[in-house]
Structure 1
Amino acid sequence: MILHITDRATYRPGEPVTAPSLETEGFVHCSDPGTVHLPADRLYAGRTDLLLLEVDPAKLDVPLRWEPGSPPIPGGPWFPHVYGPIPAAAVVAAHDFPPGPDGFTLPPSLQQG
């Protein structure tokens, strides 16, 4: 699974998922479970209106490429970038994604035991 951060006001269940980056950079930013805290802490600190969308890459009908972050971090992790709208059928779950006292962490339902 890959993950996409969005907010409750933007997300429309049953509709394709887009983001402003699709227009400006040509892709929708995503993360994997081990890296999602990095963009969350950097870009969304203190936000309490977020959702973490769980996306099944096998259900994408547009290209998925693993690439350096945008902007790149020398020696940093690579991230999944979805080159088109994420089809509604590829979104298998939406999880509340509030920050904790030390930043963002995976919701309990996504943590491996």
Structure 2
Amino acid sequence: MITFCIQQDILFITKVWDEIASSYALQHQCLLKILCVVCGKPKLDLAHYDSVGSGRDSTSINHIGLRAMILCRQHNSLQHEMGLISFCKMYQVKPIKLSKYDVIKLGLMNKKQVEENN
């Protein structure tokens, strides 16, 4: 039911967002719909859990297999202040390991780039 609501852009009350934090599958749905995994705000930033390196161009790296989550500006800033491990423990979120499908769906890589990285 929650997956259907996420896919159909149906908004939730706070209690449902608390439930999402405990489900890797629901967090993955939030990633694909670009919803903050903590509060549900739409159309936000991809927060890399695995370091992409300082000064690297995120458009030129292979994202497949990296772990990431979608966070709103407020939670992304908080995550930088607290540190990733503390943030993930506090909100009980687990970053999603990006698949080939995920990186294409999120626009991080195109099909040609994915094929070249096989």
Structure 1 or 2: more helix by fraction: 2
TM-score (norm 2): 0.31
The structure whose Rg is larger is: 2
